[in-house]
Structure 1
Amino acid sequence: MEVSPFERLLSPEGQQILHEVAAAEGSLDDLALGTRLRQAGHPVDLVAAATGQAALRRRARVKLGADAAAMWLTPDALEQATRPAVAVHRGARLQADGVRTVVDLGCGIGADLIALARAELAAHGVERDPLRAAMARANLAALGLPGTVEVADATEVDVSAYDVAFVDPARRDGRGRTFDPDAFSPPWTFVSGLLDDHGVAKVLPGISHDLVPDGVEAEWVSERGSLVEACLWGRRFAGTRRRATVLGTHGVATLTDGDAPADAEVREPGAWWYEPDDAVIRAGLVTGVAALTGGWLVDPHIAYVSSAAHVPTPYARAFRVVDELPYREKQLRAALRARDVGTLTVKKRGVSVVPEALIRRLRLTGSQTATVVLTRVAGEGRAFLVEPVA
């Protein structure tokens, strides 16, 4: 979509078409609806733009929640947009740090601007793409939020007047998605320069620890069990070196390297098994889970923790160990069939097993449901029948 068709969508005629598209949801597919709207005399390009926006809003519901119904989107911008819970967490942390003004460099369609405005921060967006900038302005207006947006190159903006310079570099080039920081836009050299002072950067959760500049805090964030991003906090805001933040029904839970001993005891599994959250694993804080649960590692190189007692924690999922099963496939099949297992979940770490392929080969037909953990213990492959704890 170009800026001109988008601006026409904001007109009374465009809004009427969008209203008709929303009213017809579930009763007509996009092709039939488009045909009906064109036959009613609406311009072809405006109909295409409206039905495209309606489809994007449907896709966005899972990621953006209720706001999606009023927001303006592009496919790439939706993919990069921050999840609301994560953006809210970041806004709350900035507010707690005494921040009042933020410039969002490369604001896209304004997902972070929305959260910053709701945190009562004065937010200004900078976006090089005129269409995304126009959408960011329209999204703030549609949700009744303050904030300003300008079309400019983020690398040419004076950020000295703001308490925070936030940047979410685009991770696409001419060939598609890129994992090379030097190919980000703005480039990594610019991002690291901001982090040397009052910058905050959203980055890929797979970022290497070695890429995090000295004096900068790396925070890995998961939402509802899914690792969604890493955020780098510049020298002015860094409170630790590594942090894992888990967002869920319990609220916000955060674990830092100050909570994680350098080493943990390694020994045989006990009565309870813990699978650390992915944010904890990426932050390298598995020993923190061992310390919180009074537990130990089952192998020095495997991110599983075991303990003698059940200690609920937001940083790991707990499993009760029911029994140890044979590790070899033929004997494992026999043991599961003897337990009348038909539906199997396989969790594995540190062993060369493809769970889906193994489940197909086992050909289980029983009436019971079971979970099996396949992993290494002291370097040896082992299998354990476990029971998940809600």
Structure 2
Amino acid sequence: MDRAELVELLTPDGLTLLDSVGETDAVTDVVKAVSRLRAEGHAPSLVAAVLTQVKLRRKAVAKFGDFASRMLFTEAGLEQATRLRVAALHAGRFTAAELSSVADLGCGIGGDAMAMAAMDLAVTAVDADEVTATVASYNLAPFPSAEVRHARAEDVDTREFDALYFDPARRTAGHSNTTRLTKPEDYSPSLDVVFDRAATQPVGVKLGPGFDRSLIPENCEAQWVSVNGQVVELGLWFGALARPGVSRSALVLDGEGTHELTAPQDSDDVDVRPLGEYLYEPDGAVIRARLIGDVARGLDAGMLSPGIAYLTGDRDVTSPFVTTFRVLERLPLDERTLKRELAKRKIGALEVKKRGADIDPAVFRKKMALRGSESATLFLTRVDGKHAALLCERVR
């Protein structure tokens, strides 16, 4: 969405049209919706902007729930926005630390700022992009304790705030078809600026989950967050926003609730043990936080192989930090053998997972020419250093 499209959309006629367009028409029969709106006399540019917003609102429900129906989005802004469930936990850090005013620097479309304002924090949301800042202003309009500034984070006098929250731009500029920046020095603002502010004020920072661990400062709490099995971010927390004695955290959000594993440092791995009746796959946040050893000790499990993030044991356990599989059979990691064994078992639906094996699961699955009514999970990995294929069934 460019500036002209946004200006046209933010008129009384534009917003009225947006509210009147049915989601079903706009999503399932776009051609029909375009024709109808054009026949009613609406400008082509406004019709395109409205239908794009309807599509983005539908997509945004996964992150923002019912709030999505009253928000505006850009494609890039929605992709990079914090899920409201996670944003609420961010905001909770500031309230728990009794900090009342926050600058959200790099606010995007305003997801985190919305959560802060909902908790009655005085939040100033700042973004360097004019269109994005305007969208954030629209989304934050219902919250009297929020304001938006169109400015660069580096140019904001942060001394007027109790605390700061940074979400540095980690993609090229634009509202769609952006590309990921791989060098932290290219972030906007740069991490040098972020960490400099963290030396004098309470600071929270949102980063990608694959951020280079060697660049994480020692004086902060690093928390990896997963939502329904997907690792979505790394949060760094400084000063009053960091919890005493915690430098590593794996936060797992699923349909059952919120679960957390914390530690003062990376945990030591447990020893390798013989393949047991069960295989446990640690959640990605646990792996990123390097807390596999702590999880293993809680399960009375051992490592499947040195350096491989799979655990094994003989207990049918329920844990939010692992997915449990029952091992049906250990097979050689040989395509012809596996194809024959899968056919013999009439496996038609196969989930393929791999660690420690240079195999493309999608290509491998195609080679298996699967047919049948049964389902299974196949791990292509190492067992005590040796390549193996483990045929399993998902327990939970």
Give the letter for the 1:73 counterpart.
F
| Residue among 384, 387, 393 paired with 1:387 | 393
Q: Is 2:203 the partner of 1:204?
A: no
How far has the Cα of 1:340 moved from its partner?
A: 2.7
Give the letter for the 1:92 counterpart.
G
Moved more, 58-67 or 102-111: 58-67
Return the alpha-carbon distance in structure 2 between the equivalents of residues 27 and 125 of structure 1: 32
How far has the Cα of 1:198 moved from its partner?
A: 1.3
Return the alpha-carbon distance in structure 2 between the equivalents of residues 181 and 192 of structure 1: 12
- Taking structure 2 as the reference length, the TM-score comes to 0.91
Return the alpha-carbon distance in structure 2 between the equivalents of residues 187 and 130 of structure 1: 20
Please tell me whether the aligned partners of residues 269 and 292 of structure 2 are also in contact (alpha carbons under 8 angstroms). Answer: no
Q: Deviations over 1:69-108 (max 9, x none)?
A: 1111111211211111211121223322323221101212
Mark the runs of 5 or more structure 1 residues left unpaired by the alignment: none
Q: Is 2:298 the partner of 1:299?
A: no
Please tell me whether the aligned partners of residues 110 and 139 of structure 1 are also in contact (alpha carbons under 8 angstroms). Answer: yes
How far has the Cα of 1:378 moved from its partner?
A: 1.9
Q: Secondary structure at the match of 1:173?
A: coil
> 1:75–1:340: structure 2 CA closer, same or farther, 3 Å change rule?
closer
Alignment-derived partner of residue 334 in structure 1: 340
Identity %, equivalent residues? 38
Please tell me whether the aligned partners of residues 194 and 200 of structure 1 are also in contact (alpha carbons under 8 angstroms). Answer: no
Q: Deviations over 1:227-262 (max 9, x none)?
A: 111111113322322211101122211112348642
Return the alpha-carbon distance in structure 2 between the equivalents of residues 212 and 326 of structure 1: 40
Return the alpha-carbon distance in structure 1 between the equivalents of residues 34 and 369 of structure 2: 47
Please tell me whether the aligned partners of residues 248 and 266 of structure 2 are also in contact (alpha carbons under 8 angstroms). Answer: no
Equivalent residues, number: 389
Return the alpha-carbon distance in structure 2 between the equivalents of residues 328 and 3 of structure 1: 56
Deviation above 6 Å: which 4+ runs of structure 1?
none
> 1:225–1:145: structure 2 CA closer, same or farther, 3 Å change rule?
farther
> 1:306–1:28: structure 2 CA closer, same or farther, 3 Å change rule?
closer
Q: Give the 5 Å matches for 1:227-376.
A: 227-239=231-243, 240-258=246-264, 261-376=267-382
Moved more, 206-215 or 254-263: 254-263
Please tell me whether the aligned partners of residues 220 and 244 of structure 1 are also in contact (alpha carbons under 8 angstroms). Answer: yes
Q: Is 2:62 the partner of 1:62?
A: yes
- Taking structure 1 as the reference length, the TM-score comes to 0.92
Give the letter for the 1:177 counterpart.
R
> 1:265–1:102: structure 2 CA closer, same or farther, 3 Å change rule?
same
> 1:217–1:373: structure 2 CA closer, same or farther, 3 Å change rule?
same
Return the alpha-carbon distance in structure 1 between the equivalents of residues 5 and 352 of structure 2: 50
How far has the Cα of 1:126 moved from its partner?
A: 1.3
How far has the Cα of 1:184 moved from its partner?
A: 0.8
RMSD over aligned Cα atoms: 2.2
Please tell me whether the aligned partners of residues 273 and 321 of structure 1 are also in contact (alpha carbons under 8 angstroms). Answer: yes
Please tell me whether the aligned partners of residues 107 and 113 of structure 1 are also in contact (alpha carbons under 8 angstroms). Answer: yes
Mark the runs of 5 or more structure 2 residues left unpaired by the alignment: none
Moved more, 251-260 or 209-218: 251-260
Return the alpha-carbon distance in structure 2 between the equivalents of residues 33 and 139 of structure 1: 26
> 1:263–1:74: structure 2 CA closer, same or farther, 3 Å change rule?
closer
Q: Deviations over 1:15-46 (max 9, x none)?
A: 22213323662587334433433332333433
Return the alpha-carbon distance in structure 2 between the equivalents of residues 358 and 52 of structure 1: 38
Please tell me whether the aligned partners of residues 26 and 54 of structure 2 are also in contact (alpha carbons under 8 angstroms). Answer: no
